[in-house]
Amino acid sequence: MSRASIFDLLHQRQQPIEPVEEPSSARNDYDAGRLRLLDGVALTASGFVGAGAVPEAQSPALSSSLHGPDGFRLLVHRIADVMPVQELRLGRFEAKALRLHELVQTIVIEALMMLEALPEDTTFDVVLTAPMRSPEAAAIVVEHLRAAIVETQYASALGEIHRTSQDGDPHTVLGVGDSGGMPHVLWISADSLLNDEDVASMQHRRLLGRSSNSAGLYVGEAVVALLLQRLLPEDDGFDTGWQIEKGVTHDHPARATRRDHAKRQALIELLSDAWPLAATTSAAGFGDAETSDASADEVGASTSPARVVIDAMGLPGRAVEIGSALIERWPEIDMIDDGIGIDQFCGWPGEAVTALALALAIAPLSPVESALVLSVEGETRSTAWRLQSCAALAAQSGNHS
């Protein structure tokens, strides 16, 4: 997709206008277990992802420069339309940093356009996650990102901008220290594994897929921008966006050592913990389970996610494990229409996987639909995040007030 068509698409996006609020300064008393996801965009090897826009999955192509341990060219997922950047210093510090810089610069304008839904002069922070070993290279990427924002009408509203090496749980990534942070935050996450070092690392971890019919992951890349709100303990009653609670994580014996039945039951337990039968009502604080289930039916609340995003379906045994667990837990879910595997959609995006999963989760949703993000890449750990529709929670609260 060309950059021109990306701009056309974004200008057509119908975004709800946030309620007017007084600009607020940095605070450090946010609820560490809740975030509100407002919007998200991403650029992947399959194309642009945004509200109402999820492209068709693209097959990997043979790399012109990357080879597997057998000497044959690797199948990779490469983003075709990335903004070229001239920054000779990055190459001297770290080769991968230049590609990350290009990815970040490509998404900046689309990221800032999401701020149009907020009241004028709403302050915001920017958190960048992009794996770079060189502090000098990271500083250059951050400064260029700052310069790109300062050149726009959002310069005066920019709070802190920093890069963190944290990945995984968004609550950890976007947490604030004693110095605090602004309520709204842009999380920009980028990674590219299209280099010899990352290929060697995946090969060492036995994750690499070598041919079109072999189990494993194919190296890819992605850049994602999410607009979120850090919530105070008293914040509630929003009618747009999705509330993200802390991820539910289960540690377990290595998948390769367990029988299919044991793996399926363990994953069902994780799904049950992450999405209780009365999840939509209990999240709003209503009654016991029996009463809550009836109330949920009355207001049309969903007892299953409308969208399921999985990170690594292509690893050995994962498709059977995930498919059987989801069918048993939610027989009504059609994984062809309602689910997506990130690795099969656009290749393995490295440390950008969690942010990309969140963007893919909300892109096709209506305001009253909710989603589940499931991470099963780890051999001994699985994590699930529930993205609960704020509009659905508000409707339930209104019915029970």
Which string of DSSP letters, residue by residue, matches 248-305? EEEE-S-GGGS-HHHHHHHHHHHHHHHS-TTHHHHTTT-S-HHHHHHHHHHTT--SS-
Note the pLDDT of residue 279: 45
362-373 pLDDT, tens per residue?
Answer: 999 999 999 999
- Angle among Cα 253, 350, 191 to the nearest 5 degrees reads 160
Please give the structure tokens belonging to residue 183.
Answer: 């309520």
Is pLDDT at 298 greater than 70 in this prediction? no
Task: Compute the mean pLDDT over every residue in the chain, rounded to the nearest whole number.
Answer: 87
Is pLDDT at 2 greater than 70 in this prediction? no
Name which residue leads in pLDDT, 277 or 315. Answer: 315
Name which residue leads in pLDDT, 352 or 89. Answer: 352
33-78 pLDDT, tens per residue?
Answer: 999 999 999 999 999 999 999 999 999 999 999 988 888 899 999 9
- How do beta strands 371-375 and 307-310 pair? parallel
Distance of CA 288 to the CA centre of its chain: 32
Cα Rg for the chain, rounded, in angstroms?
Answer: 21
What span, in angstroms and rounded, lies between the C-alpha atoms of 79 and 76?
A: 10
Note the pLDDT of residue 353: 97
Q: In this predicted structure, which of 98-107, 166-175, 306-315 has the lowest mean pLDDT?
A: 166-175
Measured in residues, the chain has a length of: 401
Name which residue leads in pLDDT, 20 or 260. Answer: 260
Note the pLDDT of residue 121: 84
pLDDT band at 11 (very low <50, low <70, confident <90, very high): very low
pLDDT band at 7 (very low <50, low <70, confident <90, very high): very low
140-150 pLDDT, tens per residue?
Answer: 999 999 999 99
Note the pLDDT of residue 13: 46
Note the pLDDT of residue 399: 64
Note the pLDDT of residue 335: 86
Place of tokens 């060492």: 204
What span, in angstroms and rounded, lies between the C-alpha atoms of 75 and 218?
A: 6
Is pLDDT at 23 greater than 60 in this prediction? no
What is the percentage of the chain residues whose pLDDT exceeds 90? 73
Note the pLDDT of residue 288: 37
258-286 pLDDT, tens per residue?
Answer: 999 999 999 999 999 999 976 444 443 33
What is the percentage of the chain residues whose pLDDT exceeds 70? 86
Note the pLDDT of residue 278: 60
pLDDT band at 166 (very low <50, low <70, confident <90, very high): confident
- Angle among Cα 373, 113, 142 to the nearest 5 degrees reads 80
Is pLDDT at 359 greater than 70 in this prediction? yes
Note the pLDDT of residue 289: 35
Note the pLDDT of residue 296: 37
Average pLDDT of span 332-356: 95
